[in-house]
Structure formats: structure tokens, C-alpha cells
Amino acid sequence: MIEFHVVNQQYEAEKPIIKHLSLTIEKGEFVVLIGPSGCGKTTLLKMMNGLIKPDSGEIRIKGKELKEWDPITLKRNIGYVIQQVGLFPHLSIEKNIVYALDIQKVSETVKKERARELIQLVGLAEDYLAKYPNELSGGQKQRVGIARALAADPEIILMDEPLGAVDQINRAVLQDEIIRIYQTLNKTIVFVTHDIEEAIKLGTKIVVMNQGEIVEVGSRDAIVFHSKSHFADDFIGNKGFLSYLNIVKIEQVVCPFDGINGNVSEKDMVFWVTTADPLIVGIRMCLENGVNHIGVRNAAGQVVGAFDLGCLSRLKF
């Protein structure tokens, strides 16, 4: 879907921003670019939709070199969401969402239907379509920004720290919404963040960058537990591990009663968790209550097995 082959870019002499970078992003992946400020994350993102041209190397989108794309056609294939949403203050939310369709001369009937679909997809009620940007909170504006990026049904969505200005509670809600949209639409998403927990939560592939280079690429499991780079290991560190425990669900490690150490059965269980609880909840419950095993129920309340402190050994990395 997106390929970088030995790409280089620098803004000032002897000050490279991107150095000999090669990367492949497959169709349907949720790729998170993470690293310290100034490492080249945003530059890489802007290269993907032609806002910045590399000094050397090759970038391919859907098998075609970037310079061979018609700029307008390319932008129709790529949605773009930024931290400062940039909604047009004089336009209604409906008009903001379908702005790209206006340029394409799409009929009013189609635009209205698309706006209704998208406002619901991003978790807002239909009556928001008649509002104006100054009537919305920061989190609501970001939802509209995501809807606008999806309006032309692009195959690729680029997100440049879209939640950086949103408070922590709304940020967690919006992260869940982005995951839901990704799973619903199966788009290819490239997401820039400096937040380790956000990267661990969202990415199917995590790209760790430093000083214009990729230092590690892998799944969240590989990045957290099997990092091959000292920089990535230090950068992700304990925060990455704690984020992992706070995101991965107990359902991934639940064990039948006859599969755990010791002679333990359902009737011995005093404390219970659900399959939807994160690992950290089960670990904390065991430690706070001085027990090695707790029971696990599913969403319907049915007993499905047990959770114990050896849970991590059952994770498949």
C-alpha cells in the first residue's frame, strides 16, 4: 500500500530530517509512528500525501511512484487529520464534513446522506450537523475532523497527533472510537503520536523513530517484550509494559481450572473478573487480596475459567 525506499530529506545543509529510510505499510494495517520530538514522524506523514517531497529515494502509493500521481487524485485517496482540526468556522458541521465532496461536485442528496452516516460513525447525534464549530467541545471537533477525513471514502487515513490537545478522559474515549472505526471500515491508518500508551493501544504495527531513522518496527507485543534496539527499549520502557497490561484483555490468558497449578476448582474462587477486564485488573486483584487465582466470567456471567499470576507466560508474542 505505502512503500518508502531509501528516502532522504533535509531542510538545512548538513541537518537531515529523514535518513536512508525504508518502510513498507501493508493494506489494512494501523501503523503508529512514535519517537521524540523532531525525530521525523510528521515529515514522514506529510511525504505520504505529497505535502513534502523527498530529496532522494522513492515513495510508492498502491504500487505507483508518488510523483506519478495526479495531486488531486492522490488527496482523494488519502484522508488527513491533524491536532488543530481546522474546521471552517463559517460553515455548519454538515458543510465541514462534506467539504471535499463539494469540490467533487457531488449531488446534495448524496452529500446529506454521507454526512448523516459519518456523524453517526464518529459517535455524534444527527442534530450536530446543524451546529457550528464554536458550539462544539475540543473532543467533538476532533470527531468532526475524523468524519471529514472519511467523507470521500479514502483508502488511507493519516493522523498527525489528532488527540494531542484533548483532555485525558475524552482522549481515551476517542481512542476507542478510532479503533472501532478502523475495525468497521478496514482502512489503512498511519498515526503519529509521542504518547507511548496511545501507541501501544492503537497500533497493529509500531514504528519507533529517532533522529530521522527507524530504529525498530514490530507489533506491540514485539516492541514491549522483544525489543532489539537499546533506544526503543529505553524509550518504551516500563510505561510501555504498564500500558500493555492496561490494554490487553484477560480473555487472552484465561485458563480452564484443570489447566492451572494446584488443586483449584470453581467453588474455591472468592474473587472474580470478566474476560473484558484488562490484565492489570486481574493482577491487582490477586496482589491486593493475597490470592494466586481468581475466577473469570464472560459478559453473560458464565464461568469460563481462572486467571492467575502466571498469566503472562501464556501470552503468545
157, 177 Cβ separation under 8 angstroms: no
Q: Quickly list DSSP for 108-163.
A: HHHHHHHHHHHHHHTT--GGGGGS-GGGS-HHHHHHHHHHHHHTT--SEEEEESTT
- How many other CB atoms sit within 10 Å of the CB of residue 317? 11
Query: Domains of the chain, with CATH numbers?
Result: 2-247 (3.40.50.300), 250-314 (3.10.580.10)
Residue whose C-alpha cell reads 501464556 in the numeric block: 314
pTM: 0.85
Closest CA to 83 of 171, 193, 164: 164
Segments of the chain scoring below 70 in pLDDT: 13-14, 259-263, 312, 314-317
Identify the pLDDT of residue 221.
Answer: 86
Identify the pLDDT of residue 259.
Answer: 61
Identify the pLDDT of residue 316.
Answer: 59
Identify the pLDDT of residue 297.
Answer: 93
Identify the pLDDT of residue 225.
Answer: 84
Identify the pLDDT of residue 317.
Answer: 53
